[in-house]
Chain A
Amino acid sequence: MSHLVTMDDALKTKLGILADAAKYDASCASSGAPKRRAAKDGLGSTTGAGICHAYTPDGRCVSLLKILLTNYCLFDCAYCVNRRSSNVRRAAFTVEEVVTLTVEFYKRNTIEGLFLSSGIIRSPDHTMERMIRVAKTLRQKHGFRGYIHLKTIPEASPWLIEQAGLFADRLSINLELPSEASLERLAPEKDGAAIETAMGQMRERIAEAKEERRRFSPAGQSTQVIVGADATTDEALIRKSAALYDRHDLKRVYYSAFSPIPDGTAILPLKAPPLQREHRLYQADWLLRYYAFTPDDVAQAAEGGMLALDIDPKLAFALKHRERFPVDVNTADRELLLRVPGLGVRAVDRIVAARRHARLRLDDVARLTSGLKRARPFLVAADYTPGGLGDRLDLRTRLAEPPQQLSLFG
């Protein structure tokens, strides 16, 4: 029973070890679940959009209690702090302990739910069964309707992967490394084909359940790729993501800049990639999903396969295709407006709605976007044309962001 009324020091120590071990996973989203409210004697709800209950000094959102069931692991993946040859402190939660922490933290309104992952102990199936038991206990014994994200173990038996979807809002399988060769070198127990097979299997089950109005991982599936642990280019990463969105209907691909970990290993690069690289990858990913960019468009925005760090990929694309600009905010198609640097989806939609009733001047556009400085050289308004601005050779320098301090030591 989880009638613990307080946390003892042993549990607190375990929490420290198993939260530290889980924090390299970038995903913390609590979005995408259907709206639910608690039954009269139950606990928890979901809002659809997700809530960040706190932010840590790395700027990341704390939405879910993100922990490992255990950091003992039989695998030996070089990028992972929990690989079996690492010298970190080890700990293991019981199922009840995870349930208690989730319920008690949730009652204090500090979290939206649980993000549970685990090192592989005994076997992938054994591990997966224990993770499922946590989710099942929360749902059935505590009437918990908050968010549950389970990190699926692709090496587990297919029926277990499918059972996880009965209790989870989101399932994810980490791709970790974008190429088979890198996986072989850095994660010898992992198998790229098995990962994609499991993703395909999950996609089928999710689609079937939706059609049959059954509950199965309603917030879909996501994955994570580590950036900078191998030589993969940005272009190759974006092409891989586009293929994953397309083939397996993923909700999100997370990019996690490889970060120095305690007790690192000699086969990893010593230096972390700039966090700005991760940021540019997210922007490019966004262009794929919301701005109708193709992977080829993103490739054109890159130089030698790598995205520029000082300007965003949309601006990089526009600078290479100046012949397409300027576009007139009062007449251009939505698709063309979406290509203007500095104009987001919301700004474009507001422009399209407003211009049905009024001719827009530059002042009007300024009220609809905060990115006017970047947009100006590329657009025409009722009282404005960029003149020669859009053709200036130093345009890139003028629009580049001052070297931003995204990391204190990056």
Chain B
Amino acid sequence: MLRELGAKNVQLPLSRKIWDINWGFVLLICATASIGFLMLYSAANGNLEPWASRQMMRFGVGLILMFVVALVDIRVWLNLAYPLYAIALILLGAVEVMGVIGMGARRWIDFGPFQLQPSEVMKIAIILALARYFHNIGLEDVRRIRWLIPPILLVLAPVALVLRQPDLGTALLLAAGAGIVFFVAGVRLWKFAVVIGTAIPAGFFAFQFLHEYQKKRVLTFLNPENDPLGAGYHILQSKIALGSGGVFGKGLLQGTQSHLNYLPEMRTDFIFSMLAEEFGMVGGLLLFALYILLIAYGYAIAYRSRNHFGKLLAIGMTGIFFLYIFINVAMVMGMVPVVGVPLPLISYGGTAMLTLLIGFGMIMSVYIHRDIDIPGKR
């Protein structure tokens, strides 16, 4: 029935777009975010103030933004891909010059009423730019090394700038997110093998240039229990919170590790530990289920898209979302180093929430415009 729309220069009517908004997806997002509100409510010892209420407000703003992004024609996003990337890269460069120092690193640019974290903008922009690039070139070209040089540079430039801030977590996230787009675009597997094969010794080399606190984090990751009062404290306390939660948890507001401050940064990076302490494995798995459903939606939307840009965009955004989840949860469970990645839709914080919701908006835009055919340059 939508076949006839699969033509160039077709504009969808707004009513039709709104009709096509994937309400199940929206509901899942709201449900997941609500778990976050509940945890922030608990973190404030049963008060909406100061965190839960502010987080709700941000979520509300983000939701509107998500709908706006979803309703914008996907071809607009295609056209804006490179300019947005350029702006994000410039902003990242600007952080170097005029960034605000916070938590031992330069990450924000102060715009008076609000602060901008360009690395967050870059997470969206890089997926857009790569999706556009791989949308435009043919499969033959994808398999030629010459054609891989521009997208690799597209990735390396922001990764290098983010590393200089220094923000190891975001840099990894950017690189891995980009890797996902490369992967589904069809880049030969042996090339990944080569990149990973060179990245590991390079990583060892780069380790020497890491900040002391980052080195420590990596080292204590290997055996955190060795130093329970020092650097390994965070991981150990987080594991105690998780483990002591057991199957059914201690109950809302009953988490001793979190409420007695043994759990560090429980509103942000370690919020999953708090959730698993108060709601146990049942609560943890429930959250996993919501996340898996959201990811599944992302995949489904990618398959439904008839244009390659949409497919890559949806998979890329979903991939970033997955990476957030995996790195954060694996981190609080002591499986990967503490790198400072928030738990999507749950952790307290405005910028990450906005980035995520804009990403979801993009995915929904892909769904709404799934039947529009966008020819590649070649």
Q: Say if A and B assemble together.
A: no
* B interface residue numbers (CB < 8 A to A): none
